[in-house]
């Protein structure tokens, strides 16, 4: 599909891309670039690409497609660094979880003749680094583009086809709407998960050993999101501030109302909410975005019948 | 182990008990009782017991072990109903998620000569009803007893042995401590999950279809707990009010502080919290209370490599 694809950043997303590009023969040459010599070494040991460099400019030179997969807070710096080496006619995209901020950071550096198309594959796990990636990560997941006015339709279609061949479904929307949607479906859940795990960690009346021992009764569900990459999530919080603060305000307002129902013994109100929320999970399962197996199918995994068996 | 075990209530927990009692030959006779004729019929169709009755008294007569598995708000009513029929020397226990309230509700009705030992197996899934149970539910999970002063050690040991043969590990603590521990490891996570799913359901700027479509980016993790049985969880909220309100207050305080860090761009504070929480998950995995597979091992399940394969 492409002569040369450059992957700038080779963590969970970058390394999953490298694997699926190889499997699907989407490029003749995969150039891998990261500033961290130890991460680059690991990527090389894993055989993820065809060339490896800590010099981002060298990696993107002559590339037809450049995919930036770095924490969103590093977007400006990376764009500034690679801009002079970008080939005329190349497609430049990213995978960041916030879009308005990434556009603001990268756009000013994009040379004329380069097609900058901001993107966000909604895929990931709580693991990070080049070892965490796998070729199936994007299968049946959505990839959202937030194209800028004047985007070349041919370039957008080519990038869409690339992501479809990685297994994804494609959507497009404007960056502001993306950031609002993601604030509720992704950013708020992560922040809440981090917060509750922090609250439990701080208790003095309940020993930390007890929290760990009895985690299967609900708490452990939150620890997965709260084990996600700290740098990535710090940057998301700092770069989608307005939408996140809006969602946090709504969440806290609702929680105060729920708390009041508990204090005053309003069983009917509790029952109504607890019934309403059941249907949403059903819809997500029907949409093919969640497993129907009880307990996420964990039980099978724990009994040794899981992945790879 | 027992001549006759009576299971009062035959939902997820009761029906899982029926299955493991049969598999492990823990009783010569399993008597199943529930007030709901349709649930009873389903239990009979599933062949879960040896006798079936909507008359709780009839079921518990002559039983050596009576296990009450009903929403905690029904404890007093059930205890009052069955008390006259309980055999001298029988062990009476429950599986309720709150213990001080269950003791207050049941204890007054327990006849002299009956060993009342409140219990709580920390096991479950988001499913409910007799079809949802499975014999392995209690494997490697904790069962907590909150024995009253003067409890007969032989009866406690016999009940402990029963639960060990169901696959559980045993702990004992006082009821107040149990309720505080469970408020953080189980009740608060469920309430938060219900709340965030409710918040998402109420948004007008983001379509419900979008929440469902993009749920895999974090939100879906919360929908599992928020799909739990509404009656059970209403009762938990009403019957462990003080401990839950205490944990909610701490959670909200911490969230306000996190929100402030986001508003003022305090990246260091965010990074510190997001790093600290990673370790807790590691400890839970090491304690054998969680799977180490990425994404709960969901990916394997979704790819058809899950349970039963």
Verify whether the Cβ–Cβ distance B180 to A206 is below 8 Å: yes
CB-based contact, B297 to chain A, within 8 Å: yes
Measured between CA atoms, the residue of chain B closest to residue A221 is B221
What's the order of all strands across the beta sheet hosting A65-68? A51-53, A27-33, A2-8, A65-68, A91-94, A115-117
Give the H/E segment covering residue B271.
helix B267-286
Least confident of A105-114, A144-153, B90-99, B209-218: B209-218
Checking if the pLDDT of A308 tops 50, the result is no
Give yes or no for a contact between B68 and B95, defined as CB atoms under 8 angstroms apart.
Answer: yes
Least confident of A27-36, A90-99, A300-309: A300-309
Verify whether the Cβ–Cβ distance B291 to A277 is below 8 Å: no
- Set of chain A residues whose Cβ sits within 8 Å of the Cβ of B224: 221, 281, 295-296
CB-based contact, A296 to chain B, within 8 Å: yes
- What ipTM describes this predicted complex? 0.92
What sign for the dihedral angle of Cα A142, A105, A150, A156? Answer: negative
Give yes or no for a contact between A117 and A156, defined as CB atoms under 8 angstroms apart.
Answer: yes
- Set of chain A residues whose Cβ sits within 8 Å of the Cβ of B186: 214, 217-219
Share of chain A above pLDDT 90, in %: 92
Distance from CA of A89 to the nearest CA of B (A): 32
pLDDT tens-digit map of A158-195: 999 999 999 999 999 999 999 999 999 999 999 999 99
Q: Please report the residues numbered 28 through 87 in chain B whose beta carbons come closer than 8 angstroms to any beta carbon of chain A.
A: none
Q: Which of A182, A220, A291 sits opposite B217 (nearest CB)?
A: A182
CB-based contact, B132 to chain A, within 8 Å: yes
Distance, in Å, from the CA atom of A293 to the CA atom of A306, rounded to the nearest integer, reads: 12
Residue B207: what pLDDT? 82
Verify whether the Cβ–Cβ distance A307 to B293 is below 8 Å: yes
Q: Which of B189, B230, B309 sits opposite A274 (nearest CB)?
A: B230
Q: How far is CA A2 from each of CA A31, A95, A96, B218, rounded to the nearest angstrom?
A: 12, 18, 22, 32
- Set of chain A residues whose Cβ sits within 8 Å of the Cβ of B180: 205-206
- Set of chain B residues whose Cβ sits within 8 Å of the Cβ of A254: 195, 198-199, 202
Distance, in Å, from the CA atom of A140 to the CA atom of A178, rounded to the nearest integer, reads: 19
Q: Which of A196, A213, A306 sits opposite B189 (nearest CB)?
A: A196
pLDDT tens-digit map of A194-242: 999 999 999 877 888 999 999 999 999 999 999 999 999 999 999 999 9
Verify whether the Cβ–Cβ distance A307 to B295 is below 8 Å: no
Measured between CA atoms, the residue of chain A closest to residue B283 is A212
Distance, in Å, from the CA atom of A65 to the CA atom of A43, rounded to the nearest integer, reads: 19
Residue B309: what pLDDT? 25
Q: CA dihedral defined by B235, B237, B242, B248, rounded to 10 degrees?
A: 170
- Set of chain B residues whose Cβ sits within 8 Å of the Cβ of A245: 259, 262-263
Verify whether the Cβ–Cβ distance A125 to B295 is below 8 Å: yes
Verify whether the Cβ–Cβ distance B248 to A227 is below 8 Å: no
Query: Which of A234, A266, A279, A288 is most worth mutating to test chain B (most B CB atoms within 10 A of its CB)?
Result: A234
Nearest to A226 by CA among B282, B277, B280, B291: B277
Residue B302: what pLDDT? 52
What's the order of all strands across the beta sheet hosting B142-145? B119-121, B142-145, B169-172
Distance from CA of B302 to the nearest CA of A (A): 6
Measured between CA atoms, the residue of chain A closest to residue B260 is A245
Verify whether the Cβ–Cβ distance A203 to B184 is below 8 Å: yes
**Residue A46 CB neighbours (<10 A):** 16
What is the DSSP-derived secondary structure letter of residue A119?
E
Measured between CA atoms, the residue of chain A closest to residue B246 is A259
Q: How does strand B119-121 pair with strand B142-145?
A: antiparallel
A204 CB-contact burial (10 Å; exposed 0-12 / middle 13-18 / buried 19+):
exposed
Verify whether the Cβ–Cβ distance B274 to A220 is below 8 Å: no
Share of chain A above pLDDT 70, in %: 96
Segments of chain B scoring below 70 in pLDDT: 299-309
pLDDT tens-digit map of A23-78: 999 999 999 999 999 999 999 999 999 999 999 999 999 999 999 999 999 999 99
Q: Please report the residues numbered 141 through 160 in chain B whose beta carbons come closer than 8 angstroms to any beta carbon of chain A.
A: 141-142, 144
Three-class SS state of A170: strand
Distance, in Å, from the CA atom of A68 to the CA atom of A17, rounded to the nearest integer, reads: 11
Give yes or no for a contact between A40 and A68, defined as CB atoms under 8 angstroms apart.
Answer: no
Q: Please report the residues numbered 247 through 286 in chain B whose beta carbons come closer than 8 angstroms to any beta carbon of chain A.
A: 247-248, 250-252, 254-256, 258-259, 261-263, 265, 267, 270-271, 273-278, 280-284
Average pLDDT, chain A: 94
End-to-end CA distance of chain A: 33
- Set of chain B residues whose Cβ sits within 8 Å of the Cβ of A289: 212-216, 220
User: At A189, phi and psi to the nearest 5?
Assistant: -55, -40
Domains annotated for chain A, with CATH where assigned, are: 2-173 (3.40.50.720), 177-292 (1.10.3660.10)
């Amino acid at each position: 599909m492409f002569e040369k694809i450059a992957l700038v950043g080779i963590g969970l997303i970058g390394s999953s891309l490298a694997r699926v590009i190889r499997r699907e023969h989407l490029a003749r040459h995969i150039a891998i670039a990261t500033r961290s010599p130890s991460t680059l070494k690991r990527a090389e040991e894993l055989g993820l690409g065809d060339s490896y460099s800590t010099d981002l400019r060298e990696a993107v030179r002559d590339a037809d497609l450049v995919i930036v997969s770095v924490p969103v807070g590093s977007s400006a710096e990376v764009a500034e660094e690679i801009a002079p080496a970008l080939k005329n006619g190349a497609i430049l995209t990213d995978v960041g979880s916030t879009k308005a901020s990434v556009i603001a950071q990268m756009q000013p550096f994009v040379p004329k003749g380069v097609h900058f198309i901001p993107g966000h594959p909604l895929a990931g796990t709580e693991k990070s680094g080049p070892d965490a990636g796998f070729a199936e990560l994007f299968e049946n997941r959505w990839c959202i583009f937030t194209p800028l006015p004047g985007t070349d339709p041919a370039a957008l279609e080519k990038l869409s086809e690339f992501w479809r061949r990685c297994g994804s479904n494609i959507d497009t929307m404007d960056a502001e709407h993306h950031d609002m949607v993601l604030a509720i479906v992704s950013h708020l859940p992560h922040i809440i998960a981090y917060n509750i795990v922090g609250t439990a960690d701080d208790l003095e009346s309940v020993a930390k050993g007890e929290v760990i021992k009895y985690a299967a009764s609900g708490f452990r569900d939150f620890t997965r999101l709260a084990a996600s990459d700290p740098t990535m999530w710090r940057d998301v919080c700092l770069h989608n501030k307005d939408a996140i603060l809006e969602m946090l305000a709504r969440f806290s307002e609702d929680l105060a109302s729920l708390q009041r129902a508990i204090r005053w013994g309003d069983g009917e109100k509790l029952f109504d909410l607890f019934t309403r929320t059941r249907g949403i999970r059903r819809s997500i399962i029907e949409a093919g975005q969640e497993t129907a197996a009880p307990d996420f199918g964990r039980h099978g995994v724990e009994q040794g019948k899981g992945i790879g068996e």
